[in-house]
Amino acid sequence: MGKQQVNRYLHRIREYCGIFGIYGHPEAANITYLGLHALQHRGQEGAGICSSDGKQMYIEKSMGLVADIFTDKRLKRLPGYIAIGHNRYSTAGSSSLKNVQPLVANFSLGSIAVAHNGNLVNADELRQRLEEEGAIFQSNADTEVIIHLTAHARGSSLKERLIQSLQEISGAYSLLILREKELIAIRDPFGVRPLSLGRFDGAYIVSSETCAFDLIGAEYIRDIEPGEMLVINDNGLESIRALHSTHRAHCIFEFIYFARPDSYIFGGKNVNNIRKRLGRILAEEAPVDADVVIPVPDSGMPAAIGYSEHSGIPFDLGLIRNHYVGRTFIEPKQTIRHFGVKLKLNPVREILNNKRVVVVDDSIVRGTTSKKIVKMIKELGGAREVHMRISSPKTVGPCFYGIDTPTRRELIASSHMVDEIKRYITADSLAYLSIEGLQRAVPNPDDYCYACFTNNYPISFPGEHLLQMDLFMV
């Protein structure tokens, strides 16, 4: 891979999304709709559901939010006892209906639908090879690469072909695959993205997060294991070790930002408890004299509570969030991010006026949001001092495994010292949680990926050596 290809790869916007599947329920599509609703925080640009009645597959998908897409009329067009669903935000293919999943394809073994959460680091190479072999792609989603690999693989069964295809792909992936009479769940050998198995009303359920189980009243059974292929059909469950798992590399950012606080992920660990622990350790590492601790809602809330508990500084809601505006981190354009902060947050002057304020947020990526928040708290809220406390380490490297941090140069901490960032966002002080503090907050800290904080990537990718060279040029 040449330097130009690497630059193009680094500028891609990665896929991040939520997936949900169910087998064995007469209202499969309706249950999937509810599951996607619970996973809406994982992607807001589009959604799709594919169902099967055992003879035929049906699909409905569109741009927009789950509740807006799936009207009663559309859900009635999705009969069957099996279904998979997908929430999406931007991938390399930008905001386009052709990239909304599940993707459906027909080949010699019949029809399949695939929903994917993650990012394949060798997708471009595989796509180029497949196109040279005659494959025609209809979308820009990595998911379609998996479909073509499976169609081209040898084997008399879909399981055999999938196992063969999995040997060729690299990266982070949680997959749901639907056939007329079968549901298959697959997780990459590093277990980068969460994926859990549950039981509801006699049916089996698979979801990115357990908060979807809670909504419908399902029972959590276990996580899909890294490297596992779980086949669900009339014969019950069949667990296949499709890939050898040498070590775990769970995404630590799930705990910091992405997952819902009420979810249990990566072996049944509660997200809210971990975030509060991050806040307590942050208060221990970076104390400050102040009058009030406030969160940047909503993802900064648990860490701010933890900071307040450890420091003894009172907690209050000094910023009010408008929940009808999308999350700024996962919207596709920086111009929308820039405008969205004003729409999304408003300071409460009664709480902030003439106060020394600790503001707890989960991360600083580009710095643009933090700068506007500090300005609002000072100018509109009347705060005397603003002390930013970040419940994660400095984000210095791009993610290649499914998070929207496409280039190092967009990450303010990759090329600026903490004091420089403090001046840029106009805070009176700024402190980040240390790597050691982050690792103290989670059980089995060696089981996580910290690449966005360390530039040490657990899964190699094309052009990695050029990225490492680039570290010395920024």
Same domain, 169 and 298: no
pLDDT of residue 409: 85
- Contact at 8 Å (CB) between 42 and 83? no
Same domain, 190 and 121: yes
Residues recorded for the chain: 474
**CB within 8 Å of 259: residues ≥ 6 apart:** 194, 209, 265, 271
Q: Phi then psi for 201, rounded to 5 degrees?
A: 50, 40
**CB within 8 Å of 408: residues ≥ 6 apart:** 10, 396, 397, 398, 414, 415, 467, 470, 471, 474
Same domain, 292 and 429: yes
Same domain, 233 and 275: no
- Residue found under tokens 């899964």: 459
pTM: 0.90
Strands 292-295 and 196-200: unpaired
Catalytic residue among 17, 211, 251, 399: 17
Closest to 171 measured CA to CA, from 150, 196, 193: 193
Range of the domain at 204: 3-249
Q: Is 448 helix (H, G, I), strand (E, B) or coil?
A: strand
CATH number at residue 433: 3.40.50.2020
Q: How many helices (H) and strands (E) does the chain have?
A: 18, 23
Tokens of 378: 């000072």
**CB within 8 Å of 59: residues ≥ 6 apart:** 48, 49, 50, 51, 78, 102, 104, 113
Q: How far is CA 125 from CA 115, 132, 161, 183, 457, in A?
A: 21, 11, 20, 28, 19
Strands 356-361 and 385-390: parallel
pLDDT of residue 469: 45
Distance CA 32, CA 176 (A): 13
- Contact at 8 Å (CB) between 362 and 332? no
The answer to whether residue 451 is domain-embedded is yes
| pLDDT under 50: residue ranges of the chain | 1-15, 91-93, 328-329, 465, 469, 471-474
**Cβ–Cβ contacts within 10 Å for residue 382, how many?**
16
Same domain, 166 and 244: yes
Residue 217: left if φ>0, alpha if ψ -120 to 50, beta else—which one?
A: left
The answer to whether residue 221 is domain-embedded is yes
Same domain, 233 and 300: no
- Contact at 8 Å (CB) between 364 and 412? yes
pLDDT of residue 339: 59
Same domain, 105 and 145: yes
Distance CA 218, CA 422 (A): 45
Distance CA 184, CA 189 (A): 16
The answer to whether residue 468 is domain-embedded is no
Same domain, 211 and 175: yes
Lay out the sheet containing 236-241: strands in order across: 103-107, 110-120, 171-179, 182-187, 228-233, 236-241
Q: Phi then psi for 109, rounded to 5 degrees?
A: -95, 5
The answer to whether residue 215 is domain-embedded is yes
50 is catalytic: no
The answer to whether residue 102 is domain-embedded is yes
**Cβ–Cβ contacts within 10 Å for residue 96, how many?**
15
**CB within 8 Å of 136: residues ≥ 6 apart:** none
pLDDT of residue 8: 37
Same domain, 240 and 300: no
- Residue found under tokens 């307590």: 280
The answer to whether residue 258 is domain-embedded is no
Same domain, 245 and 281: no
CATH number at residue 194: 3.60.20.10
Same domain, 237 and 293: no
Q: How many domains does the chain divide into? A: 2
The answer to whether residue 265 is domain-embedded is no
Distance separating the N- and C-terminal Cα atoms of the chain: 21
